[in-house]
């Protein structure tokens, strides 16, 4: 299965890949837990043994010609995007990459010089380091996904003539060593969507359990997984399925059904994993990671079943759910997504979320995608890279477990600077140096009806001629709150053109922002942020006071 990735402000065009069983009553971890993660039966647990559920999102781009996250060309800075991810409840980021992005001299392109000046001149790996560091500060986790051998496109096998298996494994070991000791990075999704190629009986694609070392994805996953664990025994190893277990496509024209088989989504068929499990040298590290999609990607026959959607749980059971239900291994659905253009797809997403379960004991997942420029799914963000698609988010939100706190790990060692200056890379904005951002407003003001209090702290995170981006952090006082309202008056005629993670009401210079449904309830001392893009002329003074009223 191929998925189109649409160009945004930058010039980009690429192909992307695109029940609950309770076995006991272990403790449940807040957010993503503490320390490195491992497995216990069908659960992922933290270093204390508490159950952890990864409820994440895919942020792609590093696997394309840009060699870094898409959306860095947008006006919404990268840190604000991460803030929004966390505020929405996504606790994990799956990061697709290609081996091209890891080559010496690799250059990241299409980085906005206004909104992301701190990323200019950095290599793809150095940008990834910054994302890992900031995500860790927010208590989020990172899964690295080797999405394709090169930025040219998907491959049926995990290697090509230009990128042999030895390079694949060497690059994985290098990444594992690079992030050694950093508990934000929790594991390796070994290769994205291995799938069938060639027509049976002359299969040339990835099989499962066929025994041919050049095509058996299960054996390859063992070789790569064990190589990674030899240098980083604390990582989880995420193994996707295939499409057809034989590695070949059925010949529907030969009137011979003996060589036909039941195939699923690329990466989504784990029917043989029970019989032929992946064997790793370090116990409790294996997570199976299928992919699942709706009609906006491809109209599978099961969507036309008269019993739809009642037929879907049995289909999911067959392809991958049985591994979870039989307590064989955890499931982390690595990709699933839709444009929601049809009611069939809306029902599919609702039913899949229910199937994966609610609360910390549900199956883990990373939704595809954060990016709006996935051609046949769209994203959680709309085309401005700031506005949330509430139709999708409202379905997913009840199943999200927000990150809490941070993982106190040392920063990763700096990666080597590219040998070629990236200044030649295209940038979506004129190369005017951004002016220094004013410091955070000290005028946060608590208000306390009914004993509930909150504070609001205003700061400018990015400023350029005529425009700026602001951020307000709302923090609950000594008691939990169920909602908040923030107010201020701009001192110099500034105005807001766009706001996210809150509801805006403005009249002249007076601004009122109230919480959304997902970020109003805050525990004692907990905080959330909302952000906005604005315009200014002459002076961009910080408003004072900035009041917060709790409910």
Q: Which DSSP string do the residues of 436-497 spell out, in sequence order?
A: PPPPPPS-EE-B-GGG--EEEEEEEEEEETTEEEEEEEEEE-SS-BS-EEEEEE-SS--EEE
Give the pLDDT confidence of 206-245 residue by residue, as tens digits. Answer: 999 999 999 999 999 999 999 999 999 999 999 999 999 9
- DSSP letter, residue 307: T
pLDDT the model gives residue 528: 87
Could you give the CA distance from residue 392 to residue 379 in angstroms, rounded to a whole number? Answer: 8
32 Cα distance to chain centroid? 14
pLDDT the model gives residue 74: 94
Catalytic residue among 63, 193, 240, 292: 193
Could you give the CA distance from residue 276 to residue 212 in angstroms, rounded to a whole number? Answer: 13
Residues 6+ apart with CB under 8 A from 135: 82, 93, 141, 142, 184
30 Cα distance to chain centroid? 19
pLDDT the model gives residue 27: 61
Could you give the CA distance from residue 171 to residue 183 in angstroms, rounded to a whole number? Answer: 19
Question: Cβ(458)–Cβ(543) under 8 Å?
Answer: yes
Helices 165-178 and 217-231, axial angle in degrees (round to 10) = 30
Q: Which DSSP string do the residues of 29-73 spell out, in sequence order?
A: -STT-SS--EEETTEEE-TTS-EE--EEEE---BTSTT-S-TTTT
- Residue closest to 143 by CA, chosen among 236, 17, 50: 236
Could you give the CA distance from residue 122 to residue 129 in angstroms, rounded to a whole number? Answer: 10
pLDDT the model gives residue 413: 34
Could you give the CA distance from residue 307 to residue 317 in angstroms, rounded to a whole number? Answer: 16
User: In the chain, what are the domains?
Assistant: 3-399 (3.20.20.80), 444-550 (2.60.40.290)
**Segment (H or E) for 165:** helix 165-178
103 is written with which tokens? Answer: 């080559």
Radius of gyration of the chain (CA): 24
Could you give the CA distance from residue 543 to residue 487 in angstroms, rounded to a whole number? Answer: 10
Could you give the CA distance from residue 352 to residue 357 in angstroms, rounded to a whole number? Answer: 9
Q: Look up 213 and say whether it is catalytic.
A: no
Q: Which DSSP string do the residues of 329-365 spell out, in sequence order?
A: S-BEE-EEE----SHHHHHHHHHHHHHH-SSTTSPEE
Question: Cβ(526)–Cβ(455) under 8 Å?
Answer: no
Q: What are residue 444's DSSP bridge partners?
A: 546
506-525 burial by CB neighbour count: b if 16+ within 10 A, else e? eeeeebbbbbbebbbebeee
Give the pLDDT confidence of 281-311 residue by residue, as tens digits. Answer: 999 999 999 999 999 999 999 999 999 999 9
Question: Cβ(91)–Cβ(54) under 8 Å?
Answer: yes
- Phi then psi for 89, rounded to 5 degrees? 115, 5
300 is written with which tokens? Answer: 């599978």
Residues 6+ apart with CB under 8 A from 317: 19, 325
pLDDT the model gives residue 29: 63
197-215 burial by CB neighbour count: b if 16+ within 10 A, else e? bebbeebbbbbbbbeeeeb
Residues 6+ apart with CB under 8 A from 175: 102, 144, 188
Catalytic residue among 63, 222, 240, 335: 335
pLDDT the model gives residue 497: 85
- Residue closest to 422 by CA, chosen among 193, 123, 220: 123
45 is written with which tokens? Answer: 């647990």
pLDDT the model gives residue 273: 98
pLDDT the model gives residue 279: 98
Q: Look up 261 and say whether it is catalytic.
A: no
3-state SS, residue 167: helix
pLDDT the model gives residue 481: 93
364-367/332-333 β-pairing: parallel
- Name residues of the chain where pLDDT drops below 70: 1-30, 252-254, 258-259, 405-450, 464
Could you give the CA distance from residue 501 to residue 512 in angstroms, rounded to a whole number? Answer: 13
């Amino acid at each position: 299965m191929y998925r189109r990735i649409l160009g945004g402000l930058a010039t980009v065009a690429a192909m992307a890949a695109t029940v609950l069983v309770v076995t006991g009553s272990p403790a449940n971890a807040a957010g993503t837990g503490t320390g490195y993660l491992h497995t216990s039966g069908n659960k992922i647990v933290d270093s204390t043994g508490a159950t952890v559920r990864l409820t994440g999102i895919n942020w792609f781009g590093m696997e394309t010609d840009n060699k870094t996250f898409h959306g860095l060309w947008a006006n919404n800075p990268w840190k604000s995007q991460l803030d929004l991810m966390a505020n929405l409840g996504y606790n994990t980021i799956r990061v697709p990459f290609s081996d091209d992005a890891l080559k010496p001299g690799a250059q990241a392109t299409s980085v906005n010089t206004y909104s992301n000046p701190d990323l200019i001149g950095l290599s793809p790996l150095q940008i990834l380091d910054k994302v890992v560091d900031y995500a860790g500060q927010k208590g989020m986790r990172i899964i690295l996904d080797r999405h394709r051998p090169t930025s040219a496109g998907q491959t049926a096998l995990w290697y090509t003539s230009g990128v042999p298996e030895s390079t694949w494994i060497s690059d994985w070991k290098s990444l594992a060593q690079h992030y050694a000791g950093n508990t934000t990075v929790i594991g390796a999704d070994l290769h994205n969507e291995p799938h069938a190629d060639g027509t049976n009986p002359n299969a040339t694609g990835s099989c499962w359990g066929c025994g041919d070392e050049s095509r058996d994805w299960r054996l390859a996953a063992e070789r790569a997984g064990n190589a990674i664990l030899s240098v980083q025994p604390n990582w989880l190893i995420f193994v996707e399925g295939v499409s057809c277990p034989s590695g070949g496509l059925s010949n529907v024209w030969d009137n011979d059904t003996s060589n036909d088989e039941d195939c699923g989504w690329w990466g989504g068929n784990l029917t043989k994993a029970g019989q032929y499990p992946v064997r790793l040298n370090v116990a409790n590290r294996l997570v199976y990671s299928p992919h699942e999609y709706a009609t906006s990607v491809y109209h599978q026959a099961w969507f036309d079943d008269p019993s739809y959607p009642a037929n879907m749980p049995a289909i999911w059971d067959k392809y991958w759910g049985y591994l979870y239900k039989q307590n064989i291994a955890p499931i982390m659905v690595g990709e699933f997504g839709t444009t929601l253009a049809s009611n069939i797809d809306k029902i599919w997403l609702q039913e899949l979320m229910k199937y994966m379960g609610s609360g910390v004991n549900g199956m883990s997942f990373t939704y595809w995608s954060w990016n709006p420029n996935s051609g046949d799914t769209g994203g959680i963000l709309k085309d401005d890279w700031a506005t949330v698609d509430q139709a999708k988010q409202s379905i997913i939100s009840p199943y999200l477990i927000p990150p809490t706190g941070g993982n106190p790990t040392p920063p990763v060692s700096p990666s080597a600077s590219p040998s070629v200056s990236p200044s030649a890379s295209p940038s979506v904005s004129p190369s005017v140096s951004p002016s220094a951002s004013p410091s955070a407003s000290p005028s946060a003001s608590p208000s306390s009806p009914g004993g509930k209090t909150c504070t609001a702290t205003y700061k400018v995170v990015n400023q350029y001629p005529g425009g700026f981006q602001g951020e307000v952090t709302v923090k609950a006082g000594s008691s939990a709150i169920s909602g908040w309202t923030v107010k201020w008056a701009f001192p110099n005629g500034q105005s807001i053109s766009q706001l996210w993670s809150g509801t805006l009401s403005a009249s002249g210079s007076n601004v009122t922002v109230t919480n959304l449904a997902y970020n109003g309830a805050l525990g004692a001392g907990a905080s959330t942020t909302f952000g906005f893009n604005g315009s200014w002329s002459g002076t961009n003074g910080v408003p004072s006071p900035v009041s917060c009223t709790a409910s």
